[in-house]
């Protein structure tokens, strides 16, 4: 088979995307609308897909769109590529926040680089990125950075107080359930921390705390745990390592 040109590779990918978008029930009214606005729709889709290719080519190690397009076309018959490309593209369309979209594309590229078929963790990350805005992602990144620095497998997110000072300053922390903890600096809005933890629970990346409220603090003589926002179970340790990597596009203020 003669070598595929760059234009042929890009056209092959466009045809694949067209097939994805055309699947589903074909109603006359929908077909009429699609025909009327087809050219505008196609131009918008092409621009979005070009951005998608630009975002994934760098972590995949390609210098331009033509090179990554050839790579995709060469491996389109393999499940890790066809599913990774399709799911990554759809996830980008469903993700409303631009920073979250960059995180989603980084994840998609990493799976393709590992030749890894999208799995349960991929879906969990996808739920997070689809629902999060930039401020929520910054809070998630604070939690992720604190957990990563603790180096343990288990962690919980808490609000703590000094003993005997119920009306005093609140401290927001990630603790490992033993003697180690990290402060979450710059938490000015506790409701945002709660919202971030609620989203992590919905995505399956954190669990609601159902334990007793007498959980000891890492500094039990000085501090007491006042509230637990959620816990990160041991079996999610590697998932959170990957999440921390995919949060790289999130700029911290």
Co-location of 118 and 204 in the same domain: no
Out of 103, 131, 159, a domain closes at: 131
Distance CA(235)–CA(246), nearest Å, equals 19
Co-location of 223 and 113 in the same domain: no
Co-location of 83 and 148 in the same domain: no
Dump pLDDT digits (tens) for 75-118. 999 999 999 999 999 999 899 999 999 999 999 999 999 999 99
Statement: residue 221 has pLDDT above 90? no
Co-location of 119 and 179 in the same domain: no
Distance CA(203)–CA(206), nearest Å, equals 8
Distance CA(73)–CA(10), nearest Å, equals 8
Co-location of 214 and 229 in the same domain: yes
Is 253 part of a structural domain of the chain? no
Dump pLDDT digits (tens) for 145-192. 999 998 888 999 998 887 766 677 888 999 988 888 899 988 989 999
- Both tokens of residue 126? 């996808």
Which residues make Cβ contacts (< 8 Å) with residue 97, sequence separation at least 6?
Answer: 132, 133, 134, 137
The mean predicted confidence, pLDDT, of the chain is 84
Distance CA(31)–CA(156), nearest Å, equals 51
Are the C-beta atoms of 177 and 156 separated by less than 8 Å? yes
Q: How many residues does the chain have?
A: 253
- Answering whether pTM is above 0.85, one says no
* Total count of domains within the chain: 2
Co-location of 159 and 231 in the same domain: yes
Co-location of 118 and 27 in the same domain: yes
Please tell me whether residue 206 adopts helix, strand or coil conformation: coil
Co-location of 12 and 112 in the same domain: yes
Is 251 part of a structural domain of the chain? no
Co-location of 10 and 124 in the same domain: yes
Is 252 part of a structural domain of the chain? no
Co-location of 125 and 143 in the same domain: no
Is 114 part of a structural domain of the chain? yes
Domain range for 126 is 6-131
Are the C-beta atoms of 159 and 227 separated by less than 8 Å? yes
Co-location of 158 and 113 in the same domain: no
Co-location of 127 and 138 in the same domain: no
């Amino acid at each position: 088979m003669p070598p595929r040109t760059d234009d042929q590779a890009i056209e092959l990918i466009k045809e694949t995307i067209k097939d994805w978008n055309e699947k589903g029930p074909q109603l006359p009214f929908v077909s009429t609308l699609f025909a009327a606005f087809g050219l505008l729709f196609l131009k918008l889709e092409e621009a979005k897909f070009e951005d998608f290719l630009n975002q994934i080519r760098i972590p995949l190690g390609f210098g331009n769109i033509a090179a990554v397009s050839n790579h995709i076309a060469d491996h389109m018959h393999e499940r890790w590529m066809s599913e990774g490309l399709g799911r990554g593209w759809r996830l980008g369309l469903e993700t409303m926040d631009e920073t979250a979209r960059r995180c989603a594309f980084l994840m998609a590229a990493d799976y393709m680089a590992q030749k890894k078929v999208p799995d349960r963790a991929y879906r969990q990350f996808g739920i997070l990125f689809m629902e999060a805005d930039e401020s929520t992602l910054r809070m998630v990144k604070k939690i992720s950075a604190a957990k990563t620095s603790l180096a343990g497998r288990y962690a919980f997110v808490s609000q703590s107080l000094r003993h005997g000072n119920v009306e005093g300053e609140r401290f927001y922390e990630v603790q490992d359930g033993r003697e180690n903890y990290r402060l979450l600096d710059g938490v000015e809005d506790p409701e945002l921390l709660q919202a971030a933890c609620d989203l992590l629970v919905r995505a399956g990346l954190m669990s609601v705390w159902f334990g007793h409220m007498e959980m000891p603090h890492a500094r039990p003589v000085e501090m007491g745990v006042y509230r637990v926002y959620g816990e990160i179970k041991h079996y999610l340790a590697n998932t959170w390592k990957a999440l921390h990597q995919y949060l790289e596009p999130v700029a911290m203020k």
